[in-house]
């Protein structure tokens, strides 16, 4: 095995667009591969773009560091190769040999994330997956929602239909072909509905949990400090696209009655988060009452 060490190249997936740092061995044989990524070296180097410097500790903190040492948030993120990494490998390989019509074999092709960079490089993409081509059934996929939560309160958006009907909802929607994962869908929908970008709140991330409903997968992002109303309103006014026409208000809430929400799953998640927050508060008061 020692003679195979020369095939190994270590990269950090955060340097290729993944939301958290994950050092990974990349085995390359037959040509020289020099990793680059977003940092120029393929390693994090505290400049991967997936985090920022903590102004108190002066240390680099990944936005999803709370989840990086546990099971990845959502099964789509437990394995696979980032599209940026594969595209870089193929580009460097193409400098040595003609890769047109060469086969890229995806042995774990549940979400077929390797298809796009392979075909764009002129290769033939072959998926080994007993579930078949899931990319062809995106319409049947579950919805994804991002519940930005603070002490039981959730950032909600009010929608308005053409007939004047209004209802509250947790930002969410169906996965699109451009979304590599359901988590990406949830974050995109959150930004579209509220105007908030990841960098506006990820630095406050305390924990991430995933809750699966019948129709929707909820990514619950618990933050340490509540975003001010003025900050939320400013982001809400920066929105563009269809959500500007159908969304009229955005605010923190944990007291919405069920009849104000079309999706029963949203109401269930709201109740769970509110109940958990009350339990934690009761436990705290009990401990400090002596």
User: In sequence order, which residues have a C-beta less than 8 Å from that of residue 92 and are 6 or more positions away?
Assistant: 31, 32, 33, 34
In DSSP terms, 125 is beta-bridged to 104
Please classify residue 29 by burial: count the beta carbons closer than 10 Å to its beta carbon, then call 0-12 exposed, 13-18 middle and 19+ buried: exposed
Q: What was the pLDDT predicted at 10?
A: 92
d(CA 146, CA 154): 10
To 10 degrees, what angle do helices 182-194 and 229-237 make?
A: 90
Kindly report, residue by residue over 47-85, the tens digit of the pLDDT: 888 777 777 778 887 766 544 444 444 444 445 688 899
| CATH code, residues 141-287 | 3.90.79.10
H/E stretch holding 245 reads helix 242-246
Res 25 pLDDT > 80: yes
The SS3 of residue 51 is strand
Mean pLDDT of 193-219: 87
pLDDT digits 0-9 by tens, 236-283? 988 876 556 678 888 888 666 556 777 888 888 888 888 777 766 555
Q: Check residue 121 and give its pLDDT.
A: 93
For position 161, what pLDDT does the model report? Answer: 79
- What three-state secondary structure class fits 238? coil
- The band of 1, judged by pLDDT with boundaries at 50, 70 and 90, is very low
| Confidence at residue 281, expressed as pLDDT on a 0 to 100 scale | 56
Q: Does the structure show a pLDDT above 50 at 179?
A: yes
Mean model confidence pLDDT for the chain: 79
pLDDT at position 289: 37
**Structural domain boundaries in the chain:** 2-97, 141-287
Q: 99-141, pLDDT tens digit by residue?
A: 999 999 888 766 677 888 999 999 998 887 645 444 445 455 6
């Amino acid at each position: 095995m020692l003679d195979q060490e020369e095939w190994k190249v270590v990269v950090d997936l955060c340097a290729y667009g993944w939301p958290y740092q994950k050092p990974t061995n990349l085995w390359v044989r037959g040509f020289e591969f020099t990793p680059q990524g977003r940092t120029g070296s393929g390693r994090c180097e505290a400049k991967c773009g997936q985090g920022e410097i903590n102004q108190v500790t002066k240390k680099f903190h990944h936005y999803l560091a709370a989840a990086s040492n546990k099971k990845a948030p959502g099964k789509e993120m437990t394995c696979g190769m980032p599209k940026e990494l594969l595209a870089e490998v193929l580009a460097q390989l193409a400098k040595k040999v003609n890769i047109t019509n060469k086969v890229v074999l995806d042995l774990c092709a549940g979400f077929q994330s390797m298809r796009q960079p392979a075909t764009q490089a002129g290769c033939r993409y072959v998926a080994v997956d007993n579930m078949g081509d899931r990319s062809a059934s995106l319409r049947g996929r579950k919805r994804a929602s991002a519940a930005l939560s603070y002490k039981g309160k959730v950032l909600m958006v009010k929608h308005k239909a053409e007939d004047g009907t209004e209802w509250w909802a947790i930002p969410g929607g169906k996965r699109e072909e451009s979304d590599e994962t359901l988590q990406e869908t949830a974050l995109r929908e959150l930004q579209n509905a509220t105007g908030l970008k990841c960098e506006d709140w990820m630095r406050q991330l305390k924990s991430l949990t995933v809750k699966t409903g019948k129709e929707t997968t909820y990514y619950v992002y618990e933050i340490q400090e509540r975003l001010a109303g003025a900050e939320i309103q400013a982001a809400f006014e920066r929105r563009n696209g269809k959500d500007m026409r159908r969304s009229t208000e955005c605010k923190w809430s944990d007291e919405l009655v069920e009849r104000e929400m079309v999706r029963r799953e949203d109401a269930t998640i709201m109740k769970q988060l509110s109940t958990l927050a009350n339990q934690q508060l009761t436990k705290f008061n009990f401990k400090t009452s002596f």
